[in-house]
Amino acid sequence: MRQVIYKIIFQIREQPEASGLHEIAVHAQGLKHIFDELRLHFFVAGIFCAAGISDFLQHKAARFWIYSMDDDTEEERIEEIKNKYKLPGRYVLNVGTIETRKNVMLIVQALALLSPDTRLPLVVVGKETAYKKLVVEEAERLGVTDSIIFLHQVPFSEFPALYQGAEVFVYPSRFEGFGIPLVEAIESGVPVITSVDSCFSEAAGPGSLYVDPTNREELAFQLSRVVVDKTLRHQMIVEGKKFTTQFNLENIARNIMALYVA
Protein backbone atom coordinates (compact mmCIF):
# COMPACT_ATOMS: atom_id res chain seq x y z
CA MET A 1 0.00 0.00 0.00
CA ARG A 2 2.84 2.43 0.72
CA GLN A 3 4.15 2.06 -2.84
CA VAL A 4 0.69 2.73 -4.21
CA ILE A 5 0.32 5.94 -2.23
CA TYR A 6 3.72 7.26 -3.32
CA LYS A 7 2.84 6.53 -6.94
CA ILE A 8 -0.39 8.48 -6.59
CA ILE A 9 1.28 11.47 -4.97
CA PHE A 10 3.99 11.79 -7.56
CA GLN A 11 1.56 11.43 -10.44
CA ILE A 12 -0.49 14.28 -9.01
CA ARG A 13 2.60 16.44 -8.51
CA GLU A 14 3.79 15.86 -12.06
CA GLN A 15 0.73 17.62 -13.51
CA PRO A 16 1.95 21.26 -13.73
CA GLU A 17 -1.31 22.48 -15.23
CA ALA A 18 -3.26 21.35 -12.16
CA SER A 19 -3.59 24.81 -10.69
CA GLY A 20 -6.98 24.47 -8.98
CA LEU A 21 -9.27 22.18 -7.08
CA HIS A 22 -11.20 21.03 -10.15
CA GLU A 23 -8.06 20.04 -12.01
CA ILE A 24 -6.70 18.12 -9.03
CA ALA A 25 -10.00 16.24 -8.76
CA VAL A 26 -9.86 15.37 -12.46
CA HIS A 27 -6.33 14.01 -12.12
CA ALA A 28 -7.37 12.01 -9.05
CA GLN A 29 -10.17 10.47 -11.10
CA GLY A 30 -7.62 9.62 -13.78
CA LEU A 31 -5.61 7.53 -11.35
CA LYS A 32 -8.24 4.80 -11.15
CA HIS A 33 -6.27 2.65 -13.60
CA ILE A 34 -3.56 2.21 -10.97
CA PHE A 35 -6.02 0.42 -8.71
CA ASP A 36 -7.51 -1.59 -11.57
CA GLU A 37 -4.03 -2.87 -12.37
CA LEU A 38 -3.73 -4.04 -8.76
CA ARG A 39 -7.15 -5.71 -8.95
CA LEU A 40 -8.44 -3.56 -6.09
CA HIS A 41 -11.74 -3.41 -7.93
CA PHE A 42 -13.93 -2.62 -4.96
CA PHE A 43 -12.09 -0.25 -2.70
CA VAL A 44 -8.67 1.27 -2.27
CA ALA A 45 -7.73 3.50 0.62
CA GLY A 46 -4.47 4.68 2.11
CA ILE A 47 -3.93 6.67 5.25
CA PHE A 48 -0.71 7.39 7.10
CA CYS A 49 1.48 10.21 8.35
CA ALA A 50 4.91 9.25 7.04
CA ALA A 51 8.14 11.22 7.15
CA GLY A 52 8.74 10.74 3.44
CA ILE A 53 5.34 12.12 2.53
CA SER A 54 5.57 14.94 5.06
CA ASP A 55 8.92 16.05 3.65
CA PHE A 56 7.53 15.89 0.15
CA LEU A 57 4.68 18.25 1.07
CA GLN A 58 6.82 21.00 2.59
CA HIS A 59 7.38 19.04 5.82
CA LYS A 60 3.70 19.16 6.70
CA ALA A 61 2.09 16.03 8.19
CA ALA A 62 -0.42 14.67 5.70
CA ARG A 63 -3.18 12.13 5.51
CA PHE A 64 -4.54 10.78 2.26
CA TRP A 65 -7.60 8.75 1.38
CA ILE A 66 -7.50 7.43 -2.17
CA TYR A 67 -10.89 5.93 -2.70
CA SER A 68 -12.61 3.92 -5.42
CA MET A 69 -16.05 2.43 -4.89
CA ASP A 70 -18.42 0.64 -7.24
CA ASP A 71 -22.06 1.61 -7.55
CA ASP A 72 -24.60 -0.44 -5.64
CA THR A 73 -24.50 -4.05 -6.71
CA GLU A 74 -27.68 -5.37 -8.30
CA GLU A 75 -29.74 -7.80 -6.25
CA GLU A 76 -29.20 -10.49 -8.88
CA ARG A 77 -25.43 -10.27 -8.41
CA ILE A 78 -25.77 -10.50 -4.63
CA GLU A 79 -27.93 -13.60 -4.94
CA GLU A 80 -25.49 -15.06 -7.47
CA ILE A 81 -22.58 -14.75 -5.03
CA LYS A 82 -24.67 -16.09 -2.15
CA ASN A 83 -25.56 -19.10 -4.22
CA LYS A 84 -21.96 -19.60 -5.34
CA TYR A 85 -20.73 -19.86 -1.75
CA LYS A 86 -23.95 -21.41 -0.38
CA LEU A 87 -24.53 -18.49 1.98
CA PRO A 88 -27.75 -17.96 3.95
CA GLY A 89 -30.12 -15.10 3.29
CA ARG A 90 -28.92 -13.20 6.37
CA TYR A 91 -25.46 -13.37 7.86
CA VAL A 92 -22.87 -11.57 9.98
CA LEU A 93 -19.75 -10.63 8.01
CA ASN A 94 -16.10 -10.27 8.97
CA VAL A 95 -13.36 -9.50 6.43
CA GLY A 96 -9.61 -9.66 7.01
CA THR A 97 -6.72 -12.03 7.55
CA ILE A 98 -7.75 -14.66 10.07
CA GLU A 99 -5.12 -13.86 12.68
CA THR A 100 -5.00 -13.26 16.42
CA ARG A 101 -5.20 -9.47 16.42
CA LYS A 102 -8.31 -9.51 14.20
CA ASN A 103 -10.04 -11.29 17.08
CA VAL A 104 -12.60 -13.39 15.19
CA MET A 105 -12.67 -15.63 18.25
CA LEU A 106 -14.70 -13.00 20.09
CA ILE A 107 -17.44 -13.10 17.43
CA VAL A 108 -17.66 -16.88 17.76
CA GLN A 109 -17.94 -16.57 21.54
CA ALA A 110 -20.60 -13.87 21.22
CA LEU A 111 -22.66 -15.97 18.80
CA ALA A 112 -22.72 -18.78 21.33
CA LEU A 113 -24.42 -16.45 23.81
CA LEU A 114 -27.25 -15.53 21.46
CA SER A 115 -30.58 -17.29 21.33
CA PRO A 116 -31.26 -19.36 18.20
CA ASP A 117 -33.71 -16.77 16.84
CA THR A 118 -31.10 -13.99 16.90
CA ARG A 119 -28.00 -16.03 16.05
CA LEU A 120 -27.13 -15.40 12.41
CA PRO A 121 -24.37 -17.41 10.69
CA LEU A 122 -20.93 -15.79 10.66
CA VAL A 123 -19.16 -15.50 7.30
CA VAL A 124 -15.41 -14.92 7.65
CA VAL A 125 -13.62 -13.79 4.48
CA GLY A 126 -9.85 -13.71 4.57
CA LYS A 127 -6.47 -15.36 4.38
CA GLU A 128 -6.09 -18.51 6.46
CA THR A 129 -3.44 -18.71 9.21
CA ALA A 130 -2.75 -21.05 12.13
CA TYR A 131 -5.14 -18.93 14.21
CA LYS A 132 -8.08 -20.35 12.25
CA LYS A 133 -7.57 -23.73 13.92
CA LEU A 134 -8.03 -22.12 17.34
CA VAL A 135 -11.20 -20.41 16.16
CA VAL A 136 -12.60 -23.68 14.84
CA GLU A 137 -11.74 -25.49 18.08
CA GLU A 138 -13.53 -22.79 20.08
CA ALA A 139 -16.58 -23.02 17.82
CA GLU A 140 -16.65 -26.79 18.35
CA ARG A 141 -16.34 -26.38 22.12
CA LEU A 142 -19.23 -23.91 22.16
CA GLY A 143 -21.39 -25.92 19.77
CA VAL A 144 -21.66 -23.27 17.06
CA THR A 145 -19.56 -24.89 14.32
CA ASP A 146 -22.55 -25.01 11.98
CA SER A 147 -22.88 -21.22 12.30
CA ILE A 148 -19.39 -20.42 10.98
CA ILE A 149 -18.51 -20.20 7.27
CA PHE A 150 -14.94 -19.53 6.12
CA LEU A 151 -14.20 -18.17 2.64
CA HIS A 152 -10.63 -17.95 1.36
CA GLN A 153 -9.14 -16.52 -1.84
CA VAL A 154 -12.30 -14.65 -2.76
CA PRO A 155 -11.81 -12.42 -5.86
CA PHE A 156 -11.98 -8.69 -5.18
CA SER A 157 -14.72 -8.41 -7.78
CA GLU A 158 -17.01 -10.41 -5.48
CA PHE A 159 -16.44 -8.27 -2.39
CA PRO A 160 -19.24 -5.75 -3.13
CA ALA A 161 -21.87 -8.49 -3.24
CA LEU A 162 -20.54 -10.13 -0.07
CA TYR A 163 -20.61 -6.83 1.81
CA GLN A 164 -23.99 -5.66 0.53
CA GLY A 165 -25.56 -9.03 1.21
CA ALA A 166 -24.61 -8.94 4.90
CA GLU A 167 -26.92 -8.03 7.76
CA VAL A 168 -24.16 -6.55 9.89
CA PHE A 169 -20.38 -6.22 9.73
CA VAL A 170 -18.46 -7.08 12.90
CA TYR A 171 -14.79 -6.12 13.31
CA PRO A 172 -13.58 -6.58 16.92
CA SER A 173 -9.91 -6.12 16.03
CA ARG A 174 -7.49 -5.26 18.81
CA PHE A 175 -5.53 -2.73 16.75
CA GLU A 176 -5.28 -1.46 13.17
CA GLY A 177 -3.44 1.14 11.14
CA PHE A 178 -6.79 2.42 9.91
CA GLY A 179 -9.41 -0.29 9.40
CA ILE A 180 -10.23 -0.22 5.69
CA PRO A 181 -12.92 -2.97 5.90
CA LEU A 182 -14.94 -0.69 8.18
CA VAL A 183 -15.27 1.92 5.45
CA GLU A 184 -15.93 -0.79 2.87
CA ALA A 185 -18.85 -2.06 4.96
CA ILE A 186 -20.31 1.37 5.66
CA GLU A 187 -20.13 2.36 2.00
CA SER A 188 -21.92 -0.89 1.20
CA GLY A 189 -24.86 0.15 3.36
CA VAL A 190 -24.12 -2.29 6.18
CA PRO A 191 -24.23 -1.38 9.91
CA VAL A 192 -20.91 -1.81 11.70
CA ILE A 193 -19.91 -3.06 15.13
CA THR A 194 -16.25 -2.59 15.96
CA SER A 195 -13.80 -2.02 18.82
CA VAL A 196 -13.43 0.97 21.09
CA ASP A 197 -10.15 2.92 21.22
CA SER A 198 -7.33 2.77 18.66
CA CYS A 199 -8.24 4.23 15.25
CA PHE A 200 -11.62 2.56 14.84
CA SER A 201 -13.84 5.59 15.40
CA GLU A 202 -11.82 7.44 12.74
CA ALA A 203 -12.77 4.81 10.17
CA ALA A 204 -16.25 3.83 11.39
CA GLY A 205 -17.61 7.17 12.62
CA PRO A 206 -20.37 8.02 15.09
CA GLY A 207 -23.01 5.87 13.41
CA SER A 208 -21.33 2.59 14.35
CA LEU A 209 -21.51 0.63 17.61
CA TYR A 210 -18.37 0.10 19.69
CA VAL A 211 -17.50 -2.72 22.08
CA ASP A 212 -14.66 -3.81 24.31
CA PRO A 213 -12.68 -6.34 22.18
CA THR A 214 -12.34 -8.58 25.25
CA ASN A 215 -16.03 -8.59 26.23
CA ARG A 216 -18.09 -11.30 24.53
CA GLU A 217 -21.24 -10.38 26.45
CA GLU A 218 -21.13 -6.80 25.23
CA LEU A 219 -20.64 -7.90 21.62
CA ALA A 220 -23.50 -10.39 21.89
CA PHE A 221 -25.79 -7.65 23.23
CA GLN A 222 -24.96 -5.23 20.41
CA LEU A 223 -25.30 -7.96 17.80
CA SER A 224 -28.76 -8.85 19.04
CA ARG A 225 -29.78 -5.17 18.92
CA VAL A 226 -28.76 -4.74 15.29
CA VAL A 227 -30.33 -8.03 14.21
CA VAL A 228 -33.67 -7.35 15.92
CA ASP A 229 -34.07 -3.55 15.80
CA LYS A 230 -34.75 -2.46 12.21
CA THR A 231 -34.98 1.19 13.20
CA LEU A 232 -31.52 1.10 14.78
CA ARG A 233 -30.09 -0.68 11.77
CA HIS A 234 -31.49 1.93 9.38
CA GLN A 235 -30.19 4.78 11.53
CA MET A 236 -26.69 3.27 11.60
CA ILE A 237 -26.66 2.91 7.81
CA VAL A 238 -27.80 6.50 7.24
CA GLU A 239 -25.32 7.98 9.74
CA GLY A 240 -22.53 5.83 8.32
CA LYS A 241 -23.14 7.04 4.78
CA LYS A 242 -23.00 10.65 5.96
CA PHE A 243 -19.70 10.02 7.70
CA THR A 244 -17.97 8.39 4.73
CA THR A 245 -18.62 11.35 2.42
CA GLN A 246 -15.32 12.71 3.74
CA PHE A 247 -13.59 9.95 1.77
CA ASN A 248 -14.96 10.94 -1.64
CA LEU A 249 -12.63 12.20 -4.37
CA GLU A 250 -13.79 15.82 -4.19
CA ASN A 251 -12.91 16.06 -0.50
CA ILE A 252 -9.62 14.25 -1.07
CA ALA A 253 -8.70 16.75 -3.76
CA ARG A 254 -9.69 19.68 -1.55
CA ASN A 255 -7.53 18.39 1.32
CA ILE A 256 -4.54 17.85 -0.97
CA MET A 257 -4.97 21.33 -2.46
CA ALA A 258 -5.12 22.87 1.01
CA LEU A 259 -1.65 21.42 1.74
CA TYR A 260 -0.25 23.05 -1.38
CA VAL A 261 -1.67 26.51 -0.65
CA ALA A 262 -1.06 26.52 3.12
Q: Band of the pLDDT at 260, cuts 50, 70, 90?
A: confident
pLDDT digit string (tens) for 126-156? 999 999 999 999 999 999 999 999 999 999 8
Per-residue pLDDT for 48 more than 70? Answer: no
Where is pLDDT greater, at 63 or 139?
139
Q: Please, what are the domains in the chain? A: 2-68+247-261 (no CATH), 75-228 (3.40.50.2000)
Compute the average pLDDT of residues 58-76. Answer: 47
pLDDT of residue 103: 97
- Taking the C-alpha atoms of 144, 188, 70 and 9 in order, what is their torsion angle to the nearest 10 degrees? -100
Main-chain dihedrals φ then ψ at residue 152, nearest 5 degrees: -120, 155
pLDDT value, residue 35: 41
Q: Looking at the predicted structure, is the pLDDT value of residue 18 above 70?
A: no
CB atoms within 10 A of CB 156: 14
Rounded Cα distance, 165 and 91, in Å: 8
The one-letter code for the residue type at 158 is E
Of 4-18, 156-170, 240-254, the poorest mean pLDDT is in 4-18
pLDDT, mean over the chain: 78
On the question of pLDDT at 8 being above 80, the answer is: no
Out of 31-45, 70-84, 194-208, the most confident range is 194-208
Q: What is the pLDDT of residues 114-130, one digit of tens each?
A: 999 999 999 999 999 99
> Over 90: is that where the pLDDT of 36 sits?
no
* Best-predicted range by mean pLDDT (23-32, 171-180, 195-204, 229-238): 229-238
pTM of the complete model: 0.73
Res 72: pLDDT:
60
> Greater confidence, 163 or 56?
163
From start to end of the chain, where are the E strands?
Answer: 92-95, 122-125, 148-151, 168-171, 192-195, 209-211
pLDDT of residue 261: 75
Residue of higher predicted confidence among 66 and 127: 127
**Is the model's pLDDT at 51 over the cut of 50?**
no
